[in-house]
Amino acid sequence: MYETIPVNDLDRWLEQGYTGRIVDLRDPESFYRSHLYDAENYPYEELMENPSVLTGEAPVLFYCSRGSESMLACNYYSRQGLEVYNLGGGYRYYRGKYNAF
């Protein structure tokens, strides 16, 4: 199982002390236009071709554009025993203060 963080609650959730990884599953062009601070870019298709890139040493917050690919990634990695979180609704709805442009 994993927890879904509503996009409107993300800032508060991050400020409560999240220290894990943040993984952006969008394509590189979208990532370079804008992403969350400290996010790493692993496009969904590439990550699923090489899932061992992520290990269980730290929790992982996944996000994508609309929330569907991050949900699939959470399903996969939670079954592998990782602590994962999904950004509900996706990055396209995020209007908080952790944007990196």
Rounded distance between C-alpha atoms, residue 59 and residue 54, angstroms: 10
In the chain the domains, ranked by start, together with CATH numbers, are: 3-100 (3.40.250.10)
The overall pTM is greater than 0.85: yes
Per-residue pLDDT tens digits of the chain, which is 101 residues long: 999 999 999 999 999 999 999 999 999 999 999 999 999 999 999 999 999 999 989 999 999 999 999 999 999 999 999 999 999 999 999 999 999 87
